[in-house]
Chain A
Amino acid sequence: MSVAESTDAQDETADAILSVGNIEVIYNHVILVLKGVSLTVPRGGIVALLGANGAGKTTTLKAISNLLRAERGEVTKGSITLNGEAVHALSPNELVRRGCIQVMEGRHCFGHLTIEENLLTGAFTRTDGGAAIRADLEKVYGYFPRLRERRSSQAGYTSGGEQQMCAIGRALMSRPQMILLDEPSMGLAPQLVEEIFEIVKQLNESEGVSILLAEQNTNVALKYATYGYILESGRVVLDGEAHELRENEDVKEFYLGIGSDDRGSFRNVKSYRRRKRWLN
């Protein structure tokens, strides 16, 4: 590696809010789920983490937010740094205090609490007083006017879209710098997916929140993200600028479903698999 390159690499990490270096995750001391995943989220960026079911997207996010430990998972190798600080040993509580919060897959709203109470739980770690929290509550209602209408309904009785908004709004209440957003499109109508992604984009632009987005809906994710990583069986197999990935033949065929005619046969699939190994 030349001198010029190494300084480049350092510039990149200095500008990154989050960087994950070659992590391995093992569940229950036996099941190896991530086999060396590295990624970087630039400050103020939206980065997409793509891949099929079981590729390791959720595990990667949980390794960062450290919700993993509650599921008897463990990061056994590699490093995770947030704002230049090593954070792999911190509890989720401490991470939220440092501005990194996860919005879990499947919403996970508190069903018996009202929408407003749900949002207020997001401010649990804050110590800047009731007035500031009230002001932020208004801001969240500004982004999600629907939540204001449903503020006193029990979250369990609201629609899937409203719950997704509630989950994102709840995370916002912690005043995050970095949101780990897991599968926000799950189970939602395409129109609603667009609506939610538009709001996420707005949040990113006007609040300066960086976002790491795990998505199966590659199409929408690459539309809103600036950079993307593709995971397969616990490894990053491809990464690049979002517009490059959108044009990439492999991505088109395997994740966007718009492959060209001559790549339809199984032999070509095998060639894709072979080529993929070179990327590691």
Chain B
Amino acid sequence: MELLTGIFVTPFVQMVTLPDFFLQVLWEGFVGGVLYALIALGFVLIFKASGVFNFAQGIMVVFAGLTLVGLHENGVPAYLALILTIGVMGLLAILVERFVMRPLVNQADIILLMATIGLTIFLIGLGEFIFGGEPKQMITEELGLPTGSTAIEIGSDGLLILQHIDIAAAVIAITMVAILGVFFNKTRIGRALRAVADDHQAALSVGISLNQIWAIVWFAAGIVALATGIMWGARSDVSFALEIIALKALPVLILGGFTSIPGAIVGGLIIGIGEKIGEIYWGPLMGGGIESWLAYMIALIFLLFRPQGLFGEKIIERV
């Protein structure tokens, strides 16, 4: 009886009696969700265009963050370092296309997955070799990102505290998604990307160069990784441990569907908010710490009922 009350009554009573705290939890969850969504977005871009599950997306986040901070540490001004890092991600995209994707074209999916795992290990080694294994401080202020926080009063004695960096993260993520949306729907290259996602063979037949398209999506994923690296780095610090949080993108992808950009966003938010609320209100029942696996549970339950995800591309079949 006590357990049932703990599950079905107490958490909701808490939510209602302390609305400002509840809002705070929602906000934290939302921000976490935005960052999950960004990581998932990187996966979706590459998966859509090439059917490759890019295991290296997580390490790309770390690598981009480390490059940015490392350049700055060596005396490069922050904005120049940002531009150079974008250049490095572009170079990485071209190299990956040339030396990983192109030689393995038409191989089984599992082989390409293995190749991206190889790439992960290579990037970890390269990152440690160049920048060392120590965690680094993200150059938040130098990049002109806001710090500090705003407190909003709620009711008579409630307070909602919003970190400015979190607001910036949300704004940047939303802007990025909007830009990607326009890019995909309105430009020649974007159209070609969607064409490749629909039918490789036909895309080849009309003269779309798959090599060019792959380099472009890896570059786009690299830019997304850089944004993610900056935002996560600002919240904690830039270290190889970040690679693990990339695995959080898996439940997001299962929820949102591997091929859908809106799915990545909504999936990210559901996972972010869901795991925060679960941790705060239901976690104590199990002694806390459920945040680390709750996302996977949510995804697992989802898989049972909607294996293609919330927004997974509908397969158009004429009958």
Among B188, B197, B208, B316, contact of A156 (Cβ-Cβ < 8 Å): B316
Contact A117 B191 (CB under 8 A): yes
Among B192, B194, B199, contact of A108 (Cβ-Cβ < 8 Å): B199
Interface string of A50-71 (1 = CB under 8 A from B): 0000000000000001010011
A93-B208 contact in complex given A110-B199, A121-B192, C-beta closer than 8 Å: yes
Contact A72 B208 (CB under 8 A): no
- Chain A residues positioned under 8 Å from B208 (CB to CB): 93, 121, 124
Contact B206 A101 (CB under 8 A): yes
Q: Separation in Å of the B259 CB from the closest CB of chain A?
A: 10
A112-B188 contact in complex given A125-B207, A171-B206, C-beta closer than 8 Å: no
- Chain B residues 199 to 238 lying within 8 A of chain A, measured CB to CB, are 199-209
Contact B191 A113 (CB under 8 A): yes
Among B105, B202, B313, B318, contact of A104 (Cβ-Cβ < 8 Å): B202
Number of interface residues of B (CB under 8 A): 23
Contact A93 B207 (CB under 8 A): yes
Q: Separation in Å of the A5 CB from the closest CB of chain B?
A: 38
Could you give 24 example pairs across A and B, Cβ below 8 Å? A67-B205, A70-B105, A93-B209, A96-B207, A104-B202, A108-B205, A110-B195, A111-B198, A112-B197, A112-B313, A112-B316, A113-B191, A113-B194, A113-B198, A117-B194, A120-B191, A121-B191, A121-B195, A121-B206, A122-B206, A124-B188, A124-B192, A124-B208, A171-B206
Contact B200 A70 (CB under 8 A): yes
B106 touches A (CB below 8 Å): yes
- Residue among A112, A118, A122, A156 with the most chain B CB within 10 A? A112
Interface string of A87-101 (1 = CB under 8 A from B): 000011101110001
- Chain A residues positioned under 8 Å from B202 (CB to CB): 104, 108-110
C-alpha spacing A34/B208, complex, angstroms: 27
| Size category, A interface | 35 or more
Interface string of A181-212 (1 = CB under 8 A from B): 00000000000000000000000000000000
- Chain B residues 25 to 53 lying within 8 A of chain A, measured CB to CB, are none
Among A91, A96, A111, A160, contact of B206 (Cβ-Cβ < 8 Å): A96
A272 touches B (CB below 8 Å): no
Contact A70 B199 (CB under 8 A): no
Contact B106 A104 (CB under 8 A): no
